[in-house]
Amino acid sequence: MTRQDEQILFDLRWQRSERDLVSSLGRLYGATPDLLPRLKSLLAKRWQERSAPLKALDLARDIDPDWFLSERNVGYVFYVDRFAQDLKGVLKHLDYLEEMGATYVHFMPCLKPRPAPNDGGYSVMDYRAIDPRLGTMKDFETVATAMRQRGMSICIDLVLNHTAKEHEWAEKAKAGEAKYQAYYWMFGTDAEPKAYEKTLVEIFPADAPGNFTWYPDIGKWVWTTFNEHQWDLNWSNPEVFLEIVDVMLNLANRGVDVLRLDAVAFMWKRLGTNCQNQPEVHDILQALRAATRIAAPALIHKAEAIVAPRDLVPYLGQGRHAGREANLAYHNNLMVQYWSSLASRNTALMTHVLGTHFPESFRHACWATYIRCHDDIGWAITEEDGSAIVGVSGPGHRNFLADFYAGKFPGAFARGAIFQENAATGDRRNSGSFASLAGLEAAHESGDPAQAEMAMQRMLMGFALICSFGGLPLLYMGDEIGLLNDHRFGDVKEHAHDNRWLHRPVMDWNAVAAARAGQGPEGRLFEGVKHIIRRRKAVPHLAADAPTRIVDIGNVSVFAFLRLSDEGPLLGLFSFTENWTTVSGEELRKLGISAFRDLLGEGEVTLHADGLAVAPYGRIWLI
């Protein structure tokens, strides 16, 4: 491309996104005369710096902006050090990722954090450097290039709600520079913090109580929603917006395809509210998307907002933000409802919640579907939803789930732990790995192969669910081979206080070798996971742009949805019981289905006595 062609492209992209940019920035910052010209020259500069291969990718994704919605995409998530020691190590495992079928790989926090404790890397002191334990920016670019050549994209975390208190901006703020003090929320007295505290909630009540920290050496209170060392950025300051755009483009130019925008719900503060999910957050996200679409169109954004359904849906763009906000957002409710139904053997609440609160599809956006991740599970089940189901009370059910997944409920198959019990509210969350929570650890304790088989079936049902629900499925490292809880996490001093490390084990490559050789339940699990992924990629009905309609199939043990694809409907059936169960032919005919083929099991399906028999934890993709 000549310089002139590049200029034409830039101008076209600016024109395409200008309205989205100007409208959202106007609502956020009002008349800030030099903001737009400064932003435009920043975007132009970073676009010029982009390498030829990335510019080619920009073009490809301009032509196919919904590339990430394809059924051929499958995600895999890991901490670089836990998966492969360092970035060079990742290169050695690209074949493994390919064998799994991963096309999207999320490197958990890998930018330079403050020295431990650093919240698993979410306390970043330099957005332009890689964590030295993992390698250098050069190593990162090498890995990104190698992955791109294999058709894989890279996602990394960008923590934009806060920086480490050792970040250069924070250091300058501490030194008294007014410009940088305005990057954070700093107060000379406790009057404002106290006023805000009245309506704020605790994120880490046991570990890091309160939302503000007093620093006697600088004589200031600082807003610290998460941990003391994580200083909340002040997004009402347009300088912060410009800085972060620059950070994003710098990372995009190093080869990042997807930015996971961490803790976005907290980015705007408003007195008298819980300071989460404020309308301005959606304008910030729209403006960030419009900006990077101009200067790095290959980049997409994933929002991490682990909030209630009503607050979650807008992150994928609703109303004036439709098609203009995050491309991906975590479907934490699907995850919560999977675990809830698994414990209760009853899908009524799941069918109600997922069928009532969520649209069937989005514009240029979709869910990231997952069963486990590096975080705890918060039981986001409202009183209102609980009471819609006979016999379920919100608090009662949340308590039951917390006990069940801590392994404390009589007969529970799960082995996990309570995370951050809030003494004031009684709120309790859970930690634990997919396999341990699904019963594999208990099965190993008892040595009962039948229990191990059930645990494996629960897991495969979960994998089949996230691979077909609608969205980009994310597999968390080690779940494919059933890695259990890491009960020795406390041996690492910095981790001992945070039991989320229970489910952040180190990859066990010997176990991978055994699983590859097909040994034990883990071997069958691994084969099963790869089979589900292969099938997903072969079934066009599962592309994320096909609407997902939740249906009541007349059997509370079975969760069901229709994927309304251009290819015709696909009915997904998922059994949450260890017993055989039946779906009646009449219910299927009501949905317009009378002769079937299971695209997951790859076989014809026949009814007996007008019933479809579903195996324990069975999963069927019927067309």
> Residues 262, 325, 376, 486: which is the catalytic one?
262
Q: How far is the CB of 528 from ligand GLC (least distance, A)?
A: 28
Give the x/- contact pattern for ligand GLC in 140-179, rule: CB under 6 A: -------------------x--------------------
> What is d(CA 242, CA 306) in angstroms, rounded to the nearest whole number?
26
Out of 262, 479, 522, 598, the only residue in the binding site for ligand GLC (CB under 6 A) is: 262
Q: How far is the CB of 205 from ligand GLC (least distance, A)?
A: 13
Non-local (6+) Cβ contacts of 600 within 8 A are: 464, 468, 532, 535, 619, 620, 621
Decide whether 262 or 578 has the Cβ nearer to ligand GLC: 262
> What is d(CA 68, CA 64) in angstroms, rounded to the nearest whole number?
9
SS3 187: strand
Cis peptide before 117 (omega within 30 of 0): yes
Q: How far is the CB of 500 from ligand GLC (least distance, A)?
A: 7
- CA angle at 339 for the pair 561 and 160, rounded to the nearest 5°: 95
State the residue for tokens 């890995």: 143
Active site residue 262: yes
CB under 6 A: which stretch of 117-125, 404-412, 446-454, 509-517 binds ligand GLC? 117-125
Q: How far is the CB of 477 from ligand GLC (least distance, A)?
A: 15
**Which residue's Cβ lies closest to ligand GLC?**
122
Decide whether 6 or 375 has the Cβ nearer to ligand GLC: 375
- Which residues in 300-319 contact ligand GLC (CB under 6 A)? 304
Q: Is 419 in the site for ligand GLC (CB under 6 A)?
A: no
Q: Is 404 in the site for ligand GLC (CB under 6 A)?
A: no
Q: Is 375 in the site for ligand GLC (CB under 6 A)?
A: yes
CB under 6 A: which stretch of 92-100, 114-122, 389-397, 420-428 binds ligand GLC? 114-122
Q: How far is the CB of 62 from ligand GLC (least distance, A)?
A: 31
Out of 75, 101, 113, 120, the only residue in the binding site for ligand GLC (CB under 6 A) is: 120
Non-local (6+) Cβ contacts of 329 within 8 A are: 302, 303, 304, 305, 312, 315, 316, 365, 367, 368
Decide whether 293 or 429 has the Cβ nearer to ligand GLC: 429
Q: How far is the CB of 580 from ligand GLC (least distance, A)?
A: 39
> What is d(CA 566, CA 547) in angstroms, rounded to the nearest whole number?
10
Give the x/- contact pattern for ligand GLC in 221-260, rule: CB under 6 A: -----x----------------------------------
State the residue for tokens 């975007």: 43
> What is d(CA 566, CA 541) in angstroms, rounded to the nearest whole number?
7
Do the strands 186-187 and 220-223 form a parallel or antiparallel pair, or are they unpaired?
antiparallel
Decide whether 159 or 256 has the Cβ nearer to ligand GLC: 159
Closest CA to 500 of 480, 518, 485, 510: 485
Decide whether 119 or 166 has the Cβ nearer to ligand GLC: 119
Decide whether 77 or 298 has the Cβ nearer to ligand GLC: 77
Q: How far is the CB of 92 from ligand GLC (least distance, A)?
A: 27
> What is d(CA 595, CA 607) in angstroms, rounded to the nearest whole number?
9
Q: How far is the CB of 165 from ligand GLC (least distance, A)?
A: 13
- Which residues in 567-596 contact ligand GLC (CB under 6 A)? none
Decide whether 119 or 441 has the Cβ nearer to ligand GLC: 119
> Residues 81, 157, 304, 578: which is the catalytic one?
304
Q: Is 78 in the site for ligand GLC (CB under 6 A)?
A: no
Active site residue 545: no
State the residue for tokens 């198959």: 413
Q: Which long-range contacts (CB under 8 A, 24 or more apart) does 492-499 make?
A: 494/116, 494/117, 494/118, 497/117, 497/207, 498/119, 498/120, 498/207, 499/417, 499/419, 499/431
Decide whether 374 or 398 has the Cβ nearer to ligand GLC: 374
Closest CA to 232 of 198, 186, 196: 186
Non-local (6+) Cβ contacts of 99 within 8 A are: 530
Q: How far is the CB of 198 from ligand GLC (least distance, A)?
A: 23
Do the strands 472-476 and 75-78 form a parallel or antiparallel pair, or are they unpaired?
parallel
Out of 96, 122, 212, 576, the only residue in the binding site for ligand GLC (CB under 6 A) is: 122
Q: Is 119 in the site for ligand GLC (CB under 6 A)?
A: yes
Out of 248, 263, 349, 443, the only residue in the binding site for ligand GLC (CB under 6 A) is: 263
> What is d(CA 266, CA 262) in angstroms, rounded to the nearest whole number?
9
Non-local (6+) Cβ contacts of 106 within 8 A are: 75, 76, 77, 78, 154, 155, 156, 258, 260, 474
**Biggest CA pair distance of the chain:** 79
Q: How far is the CB of 226 from ligand GLC (least distance, A)?
A: 4
Neighbours of 183 (CB within 10 A): 23
CB under 6 A: which stretch of 116-124, 408-416, 424-432, 473-481 binds ligand GLC? 116-124
270 membership: H or E segment, kind and range: none
Q: How far is the CB of 108 from ligand GLC (least distance, A)?
A: 9
Total site size for ligand GLC, rule CB under 6 A: 9
Non-local (6+) Cβ contacts of 237 within 8 A are: 182, 183
Decide whether 120 or 317 has the Cβ nearer to ligand GLC: 120
Q: Is 590 left (phi over 0), alpha (psi -120 to 50) or beta?
A: alpha
Reading the block at residue 470, the tokens are: 């609608």
Decide whether 244 or 553 has the Cβ nearer to ligand GLC: 244
- 8 Å CB contact between 477 and 77: yes
Q: Report the interface residues with ligand GLC, using CB under 6 A.
A: 119-120, 122, 159, 226, 262-263, 304, 375
Supply the residues annotated as catalytic. 262, 304
